[in-house]
Every structure is written in structure tokens, then in C-alpha cells.
Amino acid sequence: MIITTTSAIESYPIVNYLGVVTGISMSHKKGGFTLNMDKYYTALEAQLETLKEEAFQKLKDNAVKLGANAIIGVNSDIEIDGTNGGITVSVIGTAVVCKF
């Protein structure tokens, strides 16, 4: 499946627009507090990477359910809740059928 931030895929005409698809992955901090900022940023980076991959997989799964073979106009957003340490990664795009 082709996933792109652009509104078209060069050399592949879009045959059908199937609708908006999303992928959201959330995490909530489970206790523990550390004063070691190196460990904190390393853990945050790893957690963001995992959440991003989960969100993109959900995006693809939702597009496949609609019969899409590509997703265009993809945009992502990351929210970090400073109060409880929760992280939300959301991805949105338009599911389409391209002629390959």
C-alpha cells in the first residue's frame, strides 16, 4: 500500500475516493517518576516510535477495510499530556483506489 502526504500519486491515476481514514494510538504513563532526563527522553522516544507504528498500522487496516490500495494526504499529530504523561498519536488520510 502506498501512503503519501501528497494529494496525488504521480503516474498513478486515482480511480475512486473511498473516504477519510484514521489511526489513533494512545498511551498513559503507568507510575514512576525519574529525575534522570536522559532516561526519560530515551523512553519517550521509544514510546513515540511504538505509538507511531501502531497508529499507521491502524490507518492502513482501516483503509484496507474500505478496499483502498493507497492513502493520500496523510497528516499526523502527537499530543503529550504534561499532567499525567499520556501520549496520543493520531494519523489521518484519504483512502483511495489507484490504477497501478
Contact 76, 55 (CB under 8 A): yes
In terms of residue numbers, what domain contains 74? 2-98
Highest mean pLDDT among 62-71, 73-82, 83-92: 62-71
Q: How many domains does the chain have?
A: 1
Give the pLDDT confidence score for residue 9 in this predicted structure: 95
Q: Per residue in 6-64, pLDDT tens?
A: 999 999 999 999 999 999 999 876 655 556 778 877 888 888 899 999 999 999 999 99
**11-26 burial, b for 16+ CB within 10 Å, e for fewer?**
eeeeeeebeebebebe
> What is the β-pairing status of strands 14-27 and 87-98?
antiparallel
Q: How far is CA 16 from CA 5, 13, 23, 78, 81, in A?
A: 18, 9, 21, 29, 38
CATH number at residue 26: 3.30.110.70
pTM comes to 0.84
- Indicate the length of the chain as a whole number: 100
